[in-house]
Structure 1
Amino acid sequence: MINADVNPATPNPTTTRRGLTRRQAVTTLAATGSVAALAACAPGSSGGSSGGDGGGGTLRVSTWGNDSRLKLTQEAAAAFEKANPDIKVTIENTEWTAYWDKLATGTAANDSPDVIQMDELYIAAYGTRGALLDLETVSDQLDLSDMNENMRETGVVDDTFVGAPIGTGNFSVGVNPVLLEQAGVPMPDDTTWTWDDFADIAAQVSTALGAQGIFGFDMFGAGTAELGSWVRQFGQEVFPREGETPVEVDTVTRFFEYANRLIEIGATPPASIQSENTSAALDATLFATNRSAFHLQFHTQISAYAAASGNTLQLLRLPAQSAGESPRMVNKASMYWSIASRTSQSENAAKFIDFMLTDPAATTILTTERGIPAIPAVQEDILPALSPQGTIALEFTQEITSEVVDPPQVTPATASAWNTDFPTIGTEVIFGRTTPAEGAQRTVSTAESLL
């Protein structure tokens, strides 16, 4: 399934042009039987890399991602080593699925990397079981005081700060202006449009360009981010905090009815094509190959789609339920840097994270690769290094900054399976094997059971 990662989903005192001096800067858990082992993890336990804390040594840093991300990460790590010659860094990179298997097994065996690239889907599962260090304990080495507070809070699990957000992702609408022009369809006004408007516009594109195998909108109905955004517009949450309204069956029924309507009017392709598109590599998808005008994604993915399509792509706000209403978009942490609670090098690990998040020697290499930096000053630092498409993503984040609402809580520790459970239900609905009402009931029951 395409996610924010692929696609994604980012030094010694340095004087910036602002004149300020900066410091030097898990479904898999159950599958490997390591849940119980994680419960036994305790900060300060033995394990991790060699080398005394605060001195030299070798830091093991675990990451996932493609070759392009790995190369940039290695370049930034080399800059860190140059600024900190007594600390060596080893990058352990794995593809997405194998990453979580390896991390769960290593954690259970007391062999965690020192620095862990962490995802929203699993941060609570690891954080609630003592596997991740409280980053407040290394605040002398890791200063995130300039980070957007709402974004920083997404790294807090059970009142403990266990993940430093690397970047911001906004679930949004990617649009191919070339296809709209070919279809004779004007660019929609994303400050006023509704989901009904979106359906009609997408259907117009399909009607105009369908003979060429081009659709208005590539897929809808089986994505967790799609559902989360939809129910939030009704003031509900799939996994509510105390005091928030849980998702209701009627809301999910309307979601599935809308998905089916898109197919019926030709706005999206048949379910079989949508299913193939979901499992395709990014550069082979409908949107990436100029065969759909619209695509929902976390907004920094737009650069990867643009590179594949050969066109300059644009970003639009999500449609709202009614004209004039807020689409209730949120900032999502694209991913996090965490520190293993058992590391013997917590201070060096914190120095590394601080460097990667704040120092121009690293940030101007990584730019928006892991999301738009959540620190405004860093956004300024990287702007000259961005491609035109990267600039579009950054400007989109800045444009909607005053409009976003508080982000939802991260996926609860017990709910990592949601990322596979819900797409299964949604796929059954769009194939017509389950009615929208039945699918909605299963969806709500599944969410409740995971809590």
Structure 2
Amino acid sequence: MRMNRRSFMIGAAGTAAGLAFAGGAMPAFADATQLRAMWWGSPDRGKRTVAVAELFHGKNPDISVVGESISGDGYWAKLATGMASQNIADVFQLEPSTISDYSQRGACMPLDQFVPSTLKVDAFGKDVLKLTTIDDKLYGVGLGLNSFSLFYDEEIFQKTGLTPPGPTTTWAEYADLAVEMTKAAGKRAYWGGPYGARYVYVLDAWMRQRGKSLYTKDGNLGFGVDDAKEWYSYWEELRKRGGTVPPDVQTLDQNVIESNCLALGKSAIGMAYSNQLVGYQLVIKSKLGITMLPREKKDGPSGHYYRPALIWSVGATSKNGEAAAKFIDFFVNNVDAGKILGVERGVPMSPTVREAILPQLNPVEQLTVKYVQLLKDQVGDYPPPAPMGSGEFDQNVARPIADQLAFGKITVTEAAQRLVDEGKAKLKLKKS
């Protein structure tokens, strides 16, 4: 069952997770602090989150939690509404590409005041906190480690006799493999892999492999028109060779699992974040494998880096900052909570939690942990935090340009020029 907008009540009257439509009247609890928590994700994520909130309430009966799961772009619309009305959820979910944007727009409360009295994050390591620290203030806590990844259908590779991509696969080798898979699969409306020009996080790795960056420290684009031209040329050539899904399939992707071409059964390969393997495997019957994104050269940099998979932030307008921080601390540091969450939101930041959950992980979850460990000697330095406007650069610049290119409405040269010009304008606009 897919969740669109749902509310989960974990209240002082009891720990049953009652379901109600979002926006409906919620009962008030006497002598209790009521927290609103908001996130996006699969039904599985919702169940795990509610279970942890129930556990938290059981140990903190004076704090009740109203949780709301919203899928797709509806989440950001809801957050924008909350910002406009000065009524942001007490605890809400962000990601590395959006925390800088929303913290600088005043959506997030600085959390330094709660460290280390309530938020005990010292064991995470200072480097891990860098991507949630903006202008020297901590605006969120990462819920797990992940990185970019490539998923593939192990069964179709076995059936065709083709060798799956691996950690040293180059982009040139990947292209040949994707074309070969389209032919070898022998299935109607089925292709080798995605039209990856649409994915900004893949562009991020691509640029890092070439000594460039997606963004600079001062919040501008870290690449030029010629770099973008090389990027688009690669994907257009691969599309024309038959190695990618066509644009009418790729544009269905709303950056949620259910609409990805791999999950739709339209391709043998998909690109996503490593923690999403758990969610993908729940909707795909075939066994999935996971490996790194292709690289420019076999002995060259991978372009990968560890990142907080997802982030809890506290609403700037919250009157319950201390209680919200207490909930977040429980989420990331309580061993029993960790056992419920597993690695669906990434490999736990806390070494104690990580060690405690390893024995109970199922094979898919263990694969996620092994992948993060595989990257240990492959990851590079952290990039600067994504600048304000990066979310809009992704959604309103990069994706539409890739779509227009794939549909043949613009040329590679035009797409490259527009990506840089419109990208710079969007980032500059957001900084002003």
Report TM bin, short chain.
0.7 to 0.9
2:323 aligned with 1:348, yes or no? yes
Task: Supply the distance in 1 between the matched residues of 2:113 and 2:90 (Cα, whole angstroms).
Answer: 15
Cα distance 1:156–1:305, how it changes in 2: closer, same or farther (>3 A)? same
2:104 aligned with 1:102, yes or no? no
- Note if contact 1:231-1:252 (Cα within 8 Å) is conserved in structure 2: no
Task: Supply the distance in 2 between the matched residues of 1:341 and 1:273 (Cα, whole angstroms).
Answer: 39
2:350 aligned with 1:378, yes or no? no
- Note if contact 1:133-1:338 (Cα within 8 Å) is conserved in structure 2: yes
Task: Supply the distance in 1 between the matched residues of 2:361 and 2:287 (Cα, whole angstroms).
Answer: 14
Provide the identity percentage.
28
- Count of aligned positions: 400
Alignment of 1:310-321 (within 5 A): 310-321=285-296
Cα distance 1:432–1:122, how it changes in 2: closer, same or farther (>3 A)? same
Q: Deviations over 1:389-442 (max 9, x none)?
A: 111111101121232112333432234311221111111222222221221111
Task: Supply the distance in 1 between the matched residues of 2:356 and 2:222 (Cα, whole angstroms).
Answer: 41
Cα distance 1:110–1:286, how it changes in 2: closer, same or farther (>3 A)? closer
2:234 aligned with 1:258, yes or no? yes
Q: Which residue matches 1:323?
A: 298
- Note if contact 2:142-2:310 (Cα within 8 Å) is conserved in structure 1: yes
Displacement of 1:142 in angstroms is: 0.4
Instruction: Please identify, of 436-445 and 62-71, the stretch whose mean Cα deviation from structure 2 is larger.
Output: 62-71
2:267 aligned with 1:295, yes or no? no
Q: Deviations over 1:203-232 (max 9, x none)?
A: 121121234443221322122112222112
Displacement of 1:169 in angstroms is: 2.6
- Note if contact 1:236-1:244 (Cα within 8 Å) is conserved in structure 2: no
Q: Which residue matches 1:402?
A: 377
Instruction: Please identify, of 287-296 and 134-143, the stretch whose mean Cα deviation from structure 2 is larger.
Output: 287-296
Task: Name the amino acid aligned to 1:152.
Answer: L
2:130 aligned with 1:153, yes or no? yes
Q: Deviations over 1:337-389 (max 9, x none)?
A: 11123333222211111000110121111112222222333222222332211
- Note if contact 2:281-2:288 (Cα within 8 Å) is conserved in structure 1: yes
2:339 aligned with 1:387, yes or no? no
Q: CA RMSD in A?
A: 2.6
Cα distance 1:338–1:88, how it changes in 2: closer, same or farther (>3 A)? same
Q: Which residue matches 1:178?
A: 155
Given candidates 164, 168, 171, the residue that maps to 1:187 is 164
- Note if contact 2:204-2:213 (Cα within 8 Å) is conserved in structure 1: yes
Secondary structure of the residue aligned to 1:122 is helix
Greater relative contact order (Cα 8 A, min sep 6): structure 1 or 2? 1
Q: Deviations over 1:95-132 (max 9, x none)?
A: 34233222232233332222222233432233124432
Given candidates 206, 216, 221, the residue that maps to 2:192 is 216
Task: Name the amino acid aligned to 1:396.
Answer: Y
Which runs of no fewer than 5 residues in structure 1 stay unpaired? 6-49
Cα distance 1:232–1:198, how it changes in 2: closer, same or farther (>3 A)? same
Q: Deviations over 1:128-164 (max 9, x none)?
A: 2443222110110001111143331111111110111
Task: Supply the distance in 2 between the matched residues of 1:281 and 1:226 (Cα, whole angstroms).
Answer: 16
- Note if contact 2:52-2:331 (Cα within 8 Å) is conserved in structure 1: yes
Given candidates 208, 216, 223, the residue that maps to 1:232 is 208
Task: Supply the distance in 2 between the matched residues of 1:131 and 1:306 (Cα, whole angstroms).
Answer: 34
Cα distance 1:210–1:219, how it changes in 2: closer, same or farther (>3 A)? farther
- Note if contact 1:193-1:320 (Cα within 8 Å) is conserved in structure 2: yes
Secondary structure of the residue aligned to 1:328 is coil
Task: Name the amino acid aligned to 2:394.
Answer: N
Task: Supply the distance in 1 between the matched residues of 2:259 and 2:418 (Cα, whole angstroms).
Answer: 32
Task: Name the amino acid aligned to 2:419.
Answer: T
Cα distance 1:385–1:128, how it changes in 2: closer, same or farther (>3 A)? same
Instruction: Please identify, of 281-290 and 408-417, the stretch whose mean Cα deviation from structure 2 is larger.
Output: 281-290
Given candidates 369, 382, 388, the residue that maps to 1:413 is 388
2:282 aligned with 1:307, yes or no? yes
Task: Name the amino acid aligned to 2:152.
Answer: V
Cα distance 1:417–1:182, how it changes in 2: closer, same or farther (>3 A)? same
Given candidates 106, 111, 133, the residue that maps to 2:109 is 133
- Note if contact 1:124-1:411 (Cα within 8 Å) is conserved in structure 2: yes
Task: Name the amino acid aligned to 1:433.
Answer: K
Which runs of no fewer than 5 residues in structure 2 stay unpaired? 5-27, 428-432
Instruction: Please identify, of 93-102 and 439-448, the stretch whose mean Cα deviation from structure 2 is larger.
Output: 93-102
- Note if contact 2:278-2:344 (Cα within 8 Å) is conserved in structure 1: no
Instruction: Please identify, of 129-138 and 352-361, the stretch whose mean Cα deviation from structure 2 is larger.
Output: 129-138
Task: Name the amino acid aligned to 2:161.
Answer: G
Instruction: Please identify, of 415-424 and 154-163, the stretch whose mean Cα deviation from structure 2 is larger.
Output: 415-424
Given candidates 66, 87, 111, the residue that maps to 1:111 is 87
Secondary structure of the residue aligned to 2:410 is coil
- Deviating above 4 A after TM superposition, structure 1's stretches of 4 or more consecutive aligned residues are 242-245
Secondary structure of the residue aligned to 2:290 is strand
- Note if contact 1:125-1:413 (Cα within 8 Å) is conserved in structure 2: yes
Task: Supply the distance in 2 between the matched residues of 1:146 and 1:159 (Cα, whole angstroms).
Answer: 19
Alignment of 1:240-251 (within 5 A): 240-242=216-218, 246-251=222-227
Secondary structure of the residue aligned to 2:169 is coil
2:15 aligned with 1:72, yes or no? no
Task: Name the amino acid aligned to 2:203.
Answer: L
